């Protein structure tokens, strides 16, 4: 029983809910997706039916889903959190057996109309279950070791399954997203300090032991790290992606070469140009102005999520909204850092812009949850 | 669960604090990303834009067409012919084998070549055009081109390849081209990017090699946009190169051809020089070879056959070969003595058949001796003892100096391979070369053009021209390069007393036109064509004193390699020299019997421009000449067909 359920009378009903939606976020999401359509049209060399059109279809499907999810009261979704988490775990386990391995070892389940990536589902499910957990957990228990260990396991179990795929990028996103919610929920900062410092210690240890008889990573893993740190070492091999992406970005200049004028993507120098590396095409064709604008749109979404969460007196709703915002943030931040050579190439799509099967759909459904939280937020009692 | 409003307020406050913290962190990350964008896209933009251009743009060289060579009458001697090729692009056809089978129905292709092309097709990227057949004739090429729509992926293409329409005729002069070798690339400092084109053809010998820079032209270029796998997307810019220069030689193909045909079956060489201009009208070395064999890479078998032939068809004997000039050198010795004042035109020397000096006996070719002779008769009858004798008075240094004035023993700068310098010996030269002192006997030998004296047929022809004109005629092989005329080689008057020269000229006239002259039987009777000449017979072996006693073995009884070289030099007409000729027949025997008739015929052909009329010959030899000419005629090139086929591609 939350505070919210005592103030039902204030929550809009029926079609009024539509008016109560967080429209700025909806507009931002549509704008970002619109940028995606233009870019997919461009990288396909002016063909609309190659990538842009399927992407639009998914967008409308996802938007419909968003509206449906948003109309359903948030307490229903709160009660669905644990089942959703369990379902996601089951899906993750099932891809071990029935999944199809595709490019870059991503695994999916083919549902006919869409290829569902369980790891994508897990990103939202984890946010849900952690928000529900901390809504349920009495405040005084939050920082007790047992009650900290429990959500940590909730995070690490799917991380373990995703790592087996292997999908390092999604694993890191899950850890960072989950950790952020734990931090927001009020877990004592000492836990994070411990984890972060031991993480740094591990990295130091990894590098210190290199070349010794008991080094912690395999040689090829070291060489990947080297390539990340200095892509010039192997410009045609492993560093090729990063080098070419940086060339594309850099050659955009202030205003870019113009739509469909990017030579890097047009001439196939760019890898994965319609998926993970689509930002490079945008940068090449629309320059610094284009890329900083997209970054601005993303930031506004995150800020809108924070504003919505801060104005939401319901703990579950607030944590969920922040969790969705952080997941979204991690997506674009990691992707941009990756293509700009600030982070290793780990295979994270640019949210709503990259051409991707379930990513857009799941993300929009996630925003549906966030909208539901916004629509059904507690309001002052009616007089 | 129990609901506690205070608890909620507390936790809400904490949530707000931490949210702001996380939000700030996020903004920090966003700022970092924005800063990185600014760095890459604004600060480093120039650098990356350049890198993107490099990615995108490829330069391709467009090879220029090689310069064409003509003879003095505008007959092509080195030309370019279209090389009709058929290429196949694998990705543009569905079924490579089916297309190849269809192609085989249209034209005959060697199954081995086809299999090789097929393998190449599948080894290369699908978009790379692979040559299926080349050097097709026009009708085959047209047949394929007409059927191209039914043969997806087939391309027809026209390149240029070198051809020498006169084949053997000018092989040693013009030389040939061949693919540039790695060896050449490794030692050359030529930075021309054209050389980097695989199998680019450069001059290997002769004018082709010596005038490579004029003939090659300069590369054009094409800027093309390529994608990541190297496929050409479009052409951005095209600059045609500069075709190679057109080179006009001084050679008269017909005279050259006649000379070669006349020397057929002999290891011999002949040089014809224009006395007025120094133009080399013929520089013929027999036997010759077909330079076209080398253009596409000669087979090992063919090459070995050429290399191992004892007649040395690959050697340009006319400029490269050096021989003892023998008696043709006597004019030099005579002039040296006359100019030095140790000899006057009327002085006589008695020839008993031999000459003794420091216990060595030197023989005259006439065992019984010539008796008393003056300088003119000594040249006409080629008495050796006279020259043995006067050489002791004049000395080797002055003889060699005179020889150099007449073009011997020095390098003549012609654009041919391995032009020899020859030797005009001096005391210092022998000391330096052999670390031995000069002996009196060496002077004796040198006085009759034996011993250390060596000259090439080219030098002998120059000598004859200078003797005939009294001017320092300079040889010239190139008339013009792209309309720019090369300087004439008429030369300044020689620093020799005209009266002395006259003596020698009279003597040379006597050689061919007086009954006692050594080449009287090889004379030209037409008064306006009469030649003045000199025979020479160069010993290539030492005749021992025992052999002298039993009688010198005749040339015909010796193995070919040990027979004497036969030489003859002349200029004609004798009173107003137009041309000078030198002929050397390796191991040909006597200069009078072997070299002189060849030189006479070449002289007549060069002066009249046609097969010499019988009226120019003395009555006694007419029948024999007629027979020889009938034998010779079929060996000449048929110019009417050649002018038609040796089309010039510009």
Find the residue in B nearest to A305 (Cα).
Answer: B23
A292 and B12 within 8 Å at the Cβ level: the answer is no
Distance from CA of B227 to the nearest CA of A (A): 4
B12 and A340 within 8 Å at the Cβ level: the answer is no
Of A232-241, A245-254, B80-89, B557-566, minimum mean pLDDT range: A232-241
Enumerate the residues of chain A whose CB falls inside 8 A of the CB of residue B226.
Answer: 267
B49 and A253 within 8 Å at the Cβ level: the answer is yes
Residue pair B242/B208 in contact (Cβ under 8 Å)? The answer is no
pLDDT at residue B122, as a whole number: 79
A267 and B16 within 8 Å at the Cβ level: the answer is no
Interface probe for B, chosen from A263, A295, A327 (most Cβ of B below 10 Å), is A263
Q: Which residues of B touch A (CB under 8 A)?
A: 1, 3, 5, 7-8, 10-12, 14-16, 18-19, 22-23, 26-27, 29-30, 32-34, 36-38, 40-42, 44-45, 47-49, 51-52, 55-56, 225-229, 233
Residue B1 has pLDDT above 60, yes or no: no
Enumerate the residues of chain A whose CB falls inside 8 A of the CB of residue B44.
Answer: 250
Q: Span B22-30, mean pLDDT?
A: 93
Phi, psi of B422 (to 5 degrees): 70, -175
Closest CA to B196 of B211, B186, B210: B186
Give the CA count within 13 Å in the CB-facing half-sphere of B359. Answer: 0
Enumerate the residues of chain B whose CB falls inside 8 A of the CB of residue A307.
Answer: none
Is residue B449 very low, low, confident or very high in pLDDT (cuts 50, 70, 90)?
A: very high
* Average pLDDT in chain B: 87
Distance from CA of B151 to the nearest CA of A (A): 29
Distance from CA of A356 to the nearest CA of B (A): 23
Please say if B161 is a catalytic residue: no
pLDDT at residue A5, as a whole number: 55
A322 and B52 within 8 Å at the Cβ level: the answer is no
Of A30-34, A99-103, B148-152, B564-568, minimum mean pLDDT range: A99-103
Residue pair A313/B12 in contact (Cβ under 8 Å)? The answer is yes
Find the residue in A nearest to B231 (Cα).
Answer: A267
Tens digit of each residue's pLDDT (9 = 90 or more) over B260-303:
999 999 999 999 999 999 999 999 999 999 999 888 778 888 89
Q: Span B607-627, mean pLDDT?
A: 92
Enumerate the residues of chain A whose CB falls inside 8 A of the CB of residue B25.
Answer: none
pLDDT at residue B603, as a whole number: 96
pLDDT at residue B650, as a whole number: 35
Residue pair B595/B568 in contact (Cβ under 8 Å)? The answer is yes
In chain B, how many H helices and how many E strands? Answer: 25, 21
Angle, helices B96-106 vs B138-147, to 10°: value is 140
Distance from CA of B157 to the nearest CA of A (A): 27
Task: Report the C-alpha gap between B564 and B309 in whole angstroms.
Answer: 19
B15 and A246 within 8 Å at the Cβ level: the answer is no
- How many CB pairs lie under 8 A apart between chains A and B? 144
Could you tell me the sign of the dihedral formed by the alpha carbons of B256, B261, B262, B268, in that order?
positive
pLDDT at residue B647, as a whole number: 47
Task: Report the C-alpha gap between B131 and B144 in whole angstroms.
Answer: 14
Task: Report the C-alpha gap between B525 and B619 in whole angstroms.
Answer: 9
pLDDT in tens, chain A (383 residues): 455 555 566 678 778 888 889 999 999 999 999 999 999 888 887 788 888 888 999 899 999 999 999 999 998 999 999 999 999 999 888 887 765 555 444 566 766 666 778 888 999 999 999 999 999 988 888 889 999 999 999 999 999 988 877 777 888 889 999 999 999 998 888 999 999 999 889 888 887 877 777 776 777 777 767 766 665 555 555 566 677 777 777 777 788 777 777 767 666 666 667 778 888 888 888 989 999 999 999 999 999 999 999 988 888 999 999 999 999 999 999 989 988 888 777 778 899 998 876 788 899 999 999 999 999 888 766 54
Of A21-30, B194-203, B387-396, minimum mean pLDDT range: B194-203
A302 and B26 within 8 Å at the Cβ level: the answer is yes
B40 and A246 within 8 Å at the Cβ level: the answer is yes
Enumerate the residues of chain A whose CB falls inside 8 A of the CB of residue B8.
Answer: 3, 313, 315
Find the residue in B nearest to A136 (Cα).
Answer: B1
Task: Report the C-alpha gap between A256 and B49 in whole angstroms.
Answer: 10
Find the residue in B nearest to A310 (Cα).
Answer: B16
Find the residue in B nearest to A330 (Cα).
Answer: B26
Of B327, B378, B420, B593, the catalytic one is: B327
The tokens for A281 are 């095409």
Q: What is the dihedral of CA B297, B302, B306, B307, to 10 degrees?
A: 80
pLDDT at residue B228, as a whole number: 61
pLDDT at residue B558, as a whole number: 86
Q: Span B162-180, mean pLDDT?
A: 90
Residue B618 has pLDDT above 50, yes or no: yes
Q: Span B574-595, mean pLDDT?
A: 93
Q: What is the pTM of this model?
A: 0.63
- Give residues with Cβ within 8 angstroms of A173, minimum separation 6: A123, A327, A330, A331, A334, A348
Q: Which of B12, B18, B27 sits opposite A313 (nearest CB)?
A: B12
Q: Which of A138, A184, A247 sits opposite B19 (nearest CB)?
A: A184
């Amino acid at each position: 029983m939350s505070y919210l359920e005592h103030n039902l009378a204030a929550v809009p009903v029926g079609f009024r809910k539509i008016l109560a939606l967080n429209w700025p976020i909806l507009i931002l999401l549509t704008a970002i997706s619109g940028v995606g359509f233009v870019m997919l049209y461009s990288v396909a060399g002016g063909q609309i039916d190659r990538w842009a059109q399927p992407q639009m279809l998914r967008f409308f499907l996802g938007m419909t889903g968003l509206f449906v999810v948003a109309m359903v009261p948030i307490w229903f979704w709160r009660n669905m959190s644990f089942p959703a988490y369990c379902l996601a775990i089951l899906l993750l386990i099932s891809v071990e057996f029935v999944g199809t391995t595709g490019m870059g070892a991503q695994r999916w389940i083919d549902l006919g109309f869409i290829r569902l990536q369980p790891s994508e589902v897990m990103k939202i499910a984890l946010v849900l279950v952690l928000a529900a957990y901390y809504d349920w957990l009495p405040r005084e228990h939050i920082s007790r070791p047992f009650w900290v260990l429990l959500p940590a396991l909730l995070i690490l179990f799917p991380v373990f399954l995703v790592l087996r795929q292997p999908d390092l990028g999604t694993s890191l996103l899950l850890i960072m997203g989950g950790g952020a919610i734990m931090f927001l929920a009020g877990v004592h900062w000492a836990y994070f300090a411990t984890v972060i410092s031991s993480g740094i210690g591990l990295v130091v240890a990894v590098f210190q032991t290199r070349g010794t008889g008991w080094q912690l990573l395999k040689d090829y893993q070291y060489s990947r790290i080297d390539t990340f740190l200095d892509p010039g070492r192997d410009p045609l091999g492993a560093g090729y992606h990063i080098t070419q992406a940086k060339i594309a970005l850099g050659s955009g200049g202030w205003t870019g070469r113009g739509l469909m004028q990017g030579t890097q993507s047009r001439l196939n120098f760019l890898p994965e140009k319609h998926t993970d590396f689509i930002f490079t095409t945008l940068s090449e064709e629309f320059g610094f102005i284009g890329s900083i604008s997209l970054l601005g749109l993303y930031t506004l979404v995150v800020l809108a999520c924070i504003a919505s969460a801060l104005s939401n007196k319901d703990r579950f709703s607030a944590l969920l909204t922040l969790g969705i915002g952080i997941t979204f943030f991690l997506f674009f931040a990691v992707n941009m850092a990756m293509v700009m050579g600030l982070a290793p190439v780990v295979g994270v799509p640019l949210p709503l812009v990259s051409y991707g099967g379930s990513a857009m759909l799941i993300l929009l459904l996630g925003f549906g949850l966030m909208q539901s939280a916004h629509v059904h937020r507690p309001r002052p009692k009616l007089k | 669960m129990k609901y506690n409003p205070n608890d909620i307020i507390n936790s809400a406050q904490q949530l707000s604090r931490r949210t702001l913290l996380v939000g700030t962190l996020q903004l920090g990350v966003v700022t970092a990303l924005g800063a990185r964008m600014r760095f890459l896209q604004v600060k480093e933009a120039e650098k990356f834009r350049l890198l993107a251009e490099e990615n995108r743009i490829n330069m391709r060289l467009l090879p220029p067409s090689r310069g064409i060579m003509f003879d003095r009458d505008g007959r092509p001697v080195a030309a370019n012919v279209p090389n009709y090729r058929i290429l196949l692009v694998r990705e543009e056809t569905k079924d490579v084998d089916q297309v190849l089978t269809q192609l085989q129905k249209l034209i005959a292709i060697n199954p081995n070549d086809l299999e090789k092309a097929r393998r190449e097709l599948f080894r290369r990227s699908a978009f790379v055009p692979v040559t299926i057949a080349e050097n097709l004739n026009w009708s085959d090429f047209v047949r394929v081109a007409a059927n191209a729509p039914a043969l997806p992926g087939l391309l027809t293409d026209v390149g240029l390849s070198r051809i020498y329409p006169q084949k053997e005729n000018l092989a040693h002069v013009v030389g040939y081209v061949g693919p540039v070798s790695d060896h050449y690339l490794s030692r050359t400092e030529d930075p021309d990017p054209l050389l980097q084109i695989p199998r680019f053809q450069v001059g290997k010998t002769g004018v082709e090699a010596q005038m490579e820079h004029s003939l090659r032209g300069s590369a054009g270029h094409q800027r093309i946009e390529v994608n990541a796998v190297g496929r050409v997307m479009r052409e951005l810019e095209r600059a045609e190169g500069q075709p190679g220069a057109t080179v006009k030689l001084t050679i008269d193909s017909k005279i050259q051809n006649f000379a070669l045909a006349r020397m057929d079956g002999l290891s011999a060489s002949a040089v014809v020089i224009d006395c007025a201009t120094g133009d080399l009208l013929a520089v013929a070395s027999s036997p010759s070879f077909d330079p076209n064999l080398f253009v596409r890479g000669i087979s090992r078998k063919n090459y070995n056959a050429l290399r191992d032939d004892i007649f040395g068809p690959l050697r340009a004997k006319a400029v490269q070969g050096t021989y003892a000039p023998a008696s043709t050198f006597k004019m030099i010795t005579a002039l040296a003595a006359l100019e030095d004042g140790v000899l006057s035109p009327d002085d006589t020397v008695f020839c008993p058949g031999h000459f003794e000096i420091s216990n060595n006996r030197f023989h005259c070719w006439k065992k019984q001796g010539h008796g008393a002779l003056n300088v003119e008769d000594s040249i006409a009858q080629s008495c050796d003892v006279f020259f043995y004798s006067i050489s002791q008075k004049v000395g080797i240094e002055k003889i060699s100096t005179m020889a150099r004035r007449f073009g011997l023993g020095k390098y003549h700068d012609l654009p041919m391979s391995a032009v020899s310098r020859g030797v005009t010996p001096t005391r210092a030269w022998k000391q330096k070369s052999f670390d031995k002192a000069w002996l009196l006997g060496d002077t004796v030998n040198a006085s009759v053009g034996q011993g250390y004296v060596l000259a090439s047929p080219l030098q002998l022809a120059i000598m004859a021209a200078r003797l005939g004109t009294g001017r320092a005629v300079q040889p010239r092989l190139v008339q013009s390069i792209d309309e720019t005329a090369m300087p004439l080689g008429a030369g300044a008057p020689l620093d020799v007393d005209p009266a002395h020269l006259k003596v020698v000229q009279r003597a040379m006239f006597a050689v061919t036109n007086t009954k006692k002259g050594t080449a009287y039987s090889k004379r030209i009777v037409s008064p306006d064509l009469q030649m003045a000449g000199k025979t020479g017979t160069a010993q290539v072996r030492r005749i021992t004193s025992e052999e002298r006693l039993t009688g010198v073995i005749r040339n015909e009884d010796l193995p070919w390699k040990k027979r004497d070289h036969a030489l003859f030099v002349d200029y004609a007409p004798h009173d107003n020299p137009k041309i000078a000729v030198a002929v050397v027949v390796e191991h040909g025997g006597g200069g009078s019997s072997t070299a002189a008739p060849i030189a006479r015929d070449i002289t007549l052909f060069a002066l009249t421009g046609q097969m010499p009329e019988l009226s120019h010959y003395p009555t006694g030899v007419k029948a024999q000449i007629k027979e020889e000419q009938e034998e010779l005629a079929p060996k000449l090139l048929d110019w009417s067909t050649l002018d038609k086929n040796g089309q010039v591609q510009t």
